[in-house]
């Protein structure tokens, strides 16, 4: 893979990008409410002794009106079952059961649509006692039957009942169901309320960028791909896919990660992973709201591979090549260390635009600003020591000695050592740690065993270096004072 020249690689990727098929972006919908009946055993049924048994515990989204029905035998029921992933069924009823949804708030939407699946099995064909009638109530109106397949009776098989373009504040769905036959079933499933939305324009190249990638997670962790909106305007995304490439650079494992419209604010990030909790268990992030759960991601090899972003037309909008040799060479183990983008203005395929997340950040910054992001324009590393004296007595004033740094580029490693005024070694505050482009370390006045040190003057040395042989050294003193027993 690495034997391919950069120029030839760009040509190959360009050819692959523009020979992909174009897919038309369909109209997109925003889901408002749904019921798939995935909680079985809810409803009413007849016990062996003829007594009616019911279970509506923990149900908040729907209810039953059973005042117009009876259950004549143990085979009779009107309840949810686990068949086909869950559905609501009626069997051997006398009379009619009415299924009612909760009151659904649609006040913030326009042109609201409802759909549900109505189907039956068996040979009974008497339309007077085998039917499913789908209705709705809008605000305080009387029930109205769905305009599309609202009345289903006899042996209708399977249909999708729909009502389109509703406007109001509150909505309730009402389904009247009957089935007198013991060998037949009348079934209700897949109830959905949604608003149709106008499609947004397909993403253009570099509108969304790859910002951080974890391809070799800690044990028990999960891969992740962080994307960012580098622009100044909010982006609405209907579809986005993540893929990788095979050894011939052909796209493979294309996974659609957004099934609903997602908005990304300007200059913000969104982390994609199949298990947010597994990520948050290993990294301390103050941006958990930016961690987004997806159903599927491609498999990323632990040694090298590609991460590719595609729009709904299968056009590549960004991609990066990674390998474990792109990590800091001072690291003993690459497991659990993410690669962070350095600059949003440099190409993603530039291997020099990626660096290992700093050890200070926990080797990953999921959903948050990258530890290796280029901060400002400085010509060389800057280190600040403050205050001149500190007193770790927990009074809230100068309780710690702080060493802050700003680097002109990523890829540095650091050591910080502390000595007493006689030159005797006290503590390695930092030892061969991967640094971010900015950060700080704190000393609380103890040695490597945690023992509190005597009052006096201490010498602090900072050494910053990279694999290219660049070394920067800084030195300062601080007075440890005011420790109270």
pLDDT single digits (tens) 364-409:
999 999 998 875 667 789 999 999 999 998 888 999 999 999 898 8
Among 339, 356, 373, the domain-final residue is 356
pLDDT at residue 155, rounded to an integer = 96
Same domain for 187 and 58: yes
Q: How high is the pLDDT of residue 18?
A: 33
pLDDT at residue number 365? 94
Note the pLDDT of residue 409: 86
Distance CA 339, CA 109 (A): 41
Are 228 and 270 within one domain? yes
How many domains, in total, are found in the chain?
A: 3
CA dist 385 and 461 (Å) reads: 10
| Domain hosting residue 447, numbered range | 382-480
pTM over 0.75: no
User: Is there a single domain that holds both residue 55 and residue 193?
Assistant: yes
pLDDT score, position 376: 61
* Same domain as 228, residue 186: no
Domain boundary among 179, 197, 215: 197
> Residue 313 burial by CB count (10 A; 0-12/13-18/19+): exposed, middle or buried?
middle
Burial class, 55, CB count within 10 angstroms (exposed 0-12 / middle 13-18 / buried 19+): middle
Question: Which residue numbers in the chain have pLDDT < 50?
Answer: 1-27, 484-485
In a domain, 333, yes or no: yes
DSSP string, 44-79: EEE-TTS-EEEE-TT--SEEEE-TTEE--STT-EEE
The CATH number of the domain holding residue 471 is 2.60.40.4070
What distance in Å separates the CA atoms of residue 259 and residue 9, rounded to the nearest whole number?
32
| Per-residue pLDDT reduced to its tens digit, 313-323 | 899 999 999 99
Strands 251-256 and 241-245: antiparallel
| Predicted local confidence at residue 305, as pLDDT | 96
Pair 54, 13 in one domain: no
Q: How many whole angstroms separate alpha carbon 237 and alpha carbon 262? A: 5
Does residue 274 share a domain with residue 178? no
Last residue of a domain, one of 142, 167, 197: 197
Whether 467 is in a domain gets the answer yes
Across-strand partners of 77?
A: 45, 91
């Amino acid at each position: 893979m690495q034997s391919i020249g950069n120029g030839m690689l760009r040509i190959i990727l360009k050819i692959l990008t523009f020979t992909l098929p174009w897919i038309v972006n369909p109209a997109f919908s925003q889901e408002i409410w749904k019921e798939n009946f995935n909680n079985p055993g809810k409803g009413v049924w007849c016990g062996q002794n003829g007594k009616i048994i019911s279970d509506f515990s923990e149900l908040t989204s729907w209810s039953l009106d059973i005042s117009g029905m009876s259950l004549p035998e143990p085979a009779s029921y009107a309840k949810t079952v686990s068949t086909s992933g869950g559905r609501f069924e009626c069997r051997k009823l006398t009379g009619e059961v009415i299924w009612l949804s909760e009151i659904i708030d649609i006040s913030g939407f326009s042109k609201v649509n409802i759909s549900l699946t109505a189907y039956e099995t068996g040979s009974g064909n008497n339309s007077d006692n085998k039917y499913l009638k789908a209705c709705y109530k809008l605000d305080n109106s009387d029930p109205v039957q769905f305009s599309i397949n609202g009345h289903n009776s006899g042996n209708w098989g399977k249909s999708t009942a729909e009502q389109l373009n509703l406007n109001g504040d509150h909505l309730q769905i009402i389904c009247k169901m009957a089935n007198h036959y013991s060998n037949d079933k009348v079934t209700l499933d897949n109830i959905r309320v949604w608003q149709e939305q106008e499609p947004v324009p397909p993403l253009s190249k570099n509108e969304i960028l790859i910002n951080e990638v974890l391809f070799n997670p800690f044990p028990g962790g999960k891969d992740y791909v962080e994307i960012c909106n580098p622009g100044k305007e909010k982006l609405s995304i209907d579809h986005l896919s993540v893929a990788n490439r095979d050894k011939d650079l052909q796209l493979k494992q294309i996974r659609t990660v957004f099934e609903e419209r997602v908005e990304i604010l300007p200059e913000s990030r969104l982390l994609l992973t199949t298990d947010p909790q597994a990520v948050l268990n290993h990294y301390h992030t103050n941006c958990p709201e930016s961690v987004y759960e997806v159903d599927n991601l491609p498999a990323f090899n632990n040694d090298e591979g590609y991460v590719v972003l595609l729009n709904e037309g299968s056009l590549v909008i960004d991609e990066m090549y990674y390998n474990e040799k792109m990590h800091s060479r001072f690291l003993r183990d690459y497991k659990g260390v993410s690669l962070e983008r350095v600059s949003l203005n440099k190409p993603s395929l530039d291997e020099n635009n990626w660096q290992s997340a700093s050890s200070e950040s926990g080797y990953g910054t999921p959903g948050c600003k990258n530890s290796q992001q280029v901060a400002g324009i400085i010509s060389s590393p800057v280190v600040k020591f403050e205050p001149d004296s500190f007193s770790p007595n927990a009074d809230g004033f100068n309780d710690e000695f702080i060493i802050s740094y700003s680097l002109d580029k990523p890829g540095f490693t650091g050591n910080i050592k502390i000595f007493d005024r006689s030159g005797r070694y006290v503590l390695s505050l930092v030892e061969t740690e991967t640094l971010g482009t900015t950060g700080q370390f704190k000393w609380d006045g103890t040695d490597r065993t945690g023992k509190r040190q005597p009052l006096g003057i201490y010498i602090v040395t900072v050494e910053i270096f990279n694999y290219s042989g660049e070394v920067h050294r800084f030195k300062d003193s601080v007075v440890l004072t005011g420790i109270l027993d």
